[in-house]
């Protein structure tokens, strides 16, 4: 299984999971079969609000799962329509969240949990800010 974790650093497994998919500077792509990982630069970081292209952001990398603190409805829908499952991260490292994912201890993202109205008084108040 290939799992993507948005991150604010290039530290790989020891880095923190970022609080929002679209504005994450980096992504850590973990292959659970080989236990290998690579750090990807967000190729779509400067998108306008509501226009995140998640597959472009990940540089065309394919993933089965994304684990993130927060995500907009548009990005969630685009990932879901591509067959990618999205789970809500807990505060902590990529490694911590990877272990919790393997133990089925992370909540699956639903539209009611998504970030809305950035800059308009709403938004991602429900997720952590590492």
pTM: 0.83
pLDDT bin (cut points 50, 70, 90) of residue 26 is: very high
71 — alpha (psi -120 to 50), left (phi > 0) or beta? beta
For domain 2-113, the CATH class is alpha beta
Q: Where are the domains of the chain?
A: 2-113
- Tens digit of pLDDT for each residue in 10-19? 999 999 999 9
Nearest-angstrom CA–CA distance, 26 and 40: 6
């Amino acid at each position: 299984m290939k799992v993507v974790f948005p991150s604010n650093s290039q530290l790989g497994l020891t880095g923190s999971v970022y609080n929002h998919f679209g504005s994450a500077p980096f992504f850590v792509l973990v292959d659970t079969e080989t236990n290998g990982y690579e750090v990807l630069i967000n190729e779509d970081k400067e998108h306008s609000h509501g226009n995140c292209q998640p597959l472009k952001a990940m540089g065309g990398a394919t993933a089965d799962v994304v684990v993130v603190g927060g995500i907009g409805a548009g990005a969630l829908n685009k990932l879901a329509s591509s067959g990618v499952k999205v789970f809500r991260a807990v505060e902590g490292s990529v490694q911590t969240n990877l272990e919790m994912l393997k133990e089925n201890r992370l909540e699956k993202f639903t539209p009611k949990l998504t970030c809305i109205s950035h800059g308009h008084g709403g938004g991602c108040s429900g997720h952590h800010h590492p």
